[in-house]
Structures are given as C-alpha cells and as structure tokens.
A = this chain, B = another copy of it.
Amino acid sequence: MAVSEAKVSISAIPPLDGEGPLWLQIRRSLSLPIVSGRWPSGTRIPTEILLTAHFETSRMTVNKAIQSLATEGLVQRRPKIGTIVTEKARERPVFEIWDPADMVHQSGAHYSYRLIDTAIISSASELSRQFNCDETTPLFQVQCLHLSNKRPFQFEERVINLEAAPKIAHENLHAVSPGQWLLAHVAYTEARHLISARAASEKVANFLELTVGDPCLVVERRTWNANVPVTLGRFWYPGGDHSLHGSFKPSW
C-alpha cells in the first residue's frame, strides 16, 4: 500500500531460463519477483539501459518485455521517472472485482471481518467430491463474515487443500482473512469463477440477516496451482442490496 521507494539492483534480477524468445524470458524474469511479492508495489525496476547491458541485448528487446508487463498492468512507466511496480499488481487478475475489503472501501464504508469457524477434515466424502480431489487429501474448512459498516456484506465458506497450504492451519485467522492469507502465501496458476443466484439457506440467512429463501448472489472461486487444487471459496452476497459491476471502454 505504502509507496516504498526501493530500487531494484541489477543483481536481484532472476536469471533467464533460456526457453523461448528472449523478450519473453526477460518478461518472465521481471514478472517473477513482482507476482511473488519480492518487489512490492512502488519498487522501481532498473532502467532499460541497465537491463540492456545486464542481459546483453538491445534496448528494443528489453522495451518489448517491459511494455508487455505495462499493458497487463503489472507495472507503470513514465518518462524520466522509470518503471514502477503497480499497486496491487499481484492481486489484479483475481481481485479486481471480488475482494470484499476493496468493495466495501470503494463504497466509502467501514470494512470489518469476523471469523466464524474453522475445522480440519481428514476424510470427508461430500466435501472432497465438491472439491474434486482425492478423499484422503486433508482439507481445511473456514467460514467467515465480511461486514460493511458492521452490517453483513459477504458470507464466505471456503475449503483449502492442506497439502497445497499446510501452514494455514496454524495461522491466526482472526486477524487476517483466509483470502488475504492465501494471496500472500500460496501461488496459483489458474482460477475459475462461477456466478449464480440461490435462495438463502437457514445458515446463510442467519449470518447475512436475511429471511430463508431470500435471493443471494453467489460467487464461487476455485484456484489451482499446477493442476493441484488449492482452494474453493463460495461467497454469498445479499441479493438486492449489493451487486457486482464492471465497465469498460473498447480501446478502439
């Protein structure tokens, strides 16, 4: 969040992997520390000239690599200033729409969070089936509530693969929401979303302060890391009050 004015030294740049076009190698080399969080937002990455010398290539090649990072929003570039890691560069692809804290903050309200329940499940056929994994895979289950101005905003049910994220079982999830923790500690390579409308069950109605049967907007998010399922989250919103939104201008 804060603008850390750190500058990256050339020696901190990961080596090239030798696979594919040079500009893509350079791109990967630079994106790795960004998405892994080693270069936090605000970090200045070396100038094109320095990178040109470091990678022993031409400026156009380095330029192409960085430009492509810029068009994807991972970095911002300005003449004379340099290239800076974007705020929220890592979260962007997943969270641009669905981070509850963000949604609440954007509406100008106060965000808070309450952990409801956690459980370790060593063999649960029903959950394993939903999660689409082996029945012997140990799972971690969390339920929590996100609030806007102390009123329920989103009810979150989540299942986490303990083989993919063993440390979460010992984490203090009262202080940090499971979504935030996962984002900070577990990488993913793929995510899939599903949006539907469902009637509130008794449990959901209870937590969201609704009547059973009231319409809820439900977002399901699954993430994988190299084909290993990481987490399945189901997020319930009171149907009428809140809604997801998106807008765009075509770039033509």
Q: Chain A residues in contact with chain B, CB under 8 A?
A: 28, 31-32, 35, 71-72, 93, 188-199, 213-218, 237, 239-240, 242-252
CB distance from A45 to the nearest CB of B (A): 15
24 contacts between A and B (CB under 8 A): A31-B252, A32-B252, A35-B252, A93-B250, A190-B247, A190-B249, A191-B247, A191-B248, A193-B246, A194-B243, A194-B244, A194-B245, A195-B243, A196-B217, A197-B197, A197-B198, A197-B216, A197-B217, A197-B218, A198-B240, A199-B239, A214-B215, A215-B216, A217-B217
CB distance from A55 to the nearest CB of B (A): 18
Q: How far is the CA of A191 from the CA of B84 in the complex (A)?
A: 30
CB distance from A210 to the nearest CB of B (A): 11
Report chain B residues within 8 Å CB of A237. Answer: 197
- Most chain B C-beta atoms within 10 Å of own C-beta, residue among A35, A237, A243, A245: A243
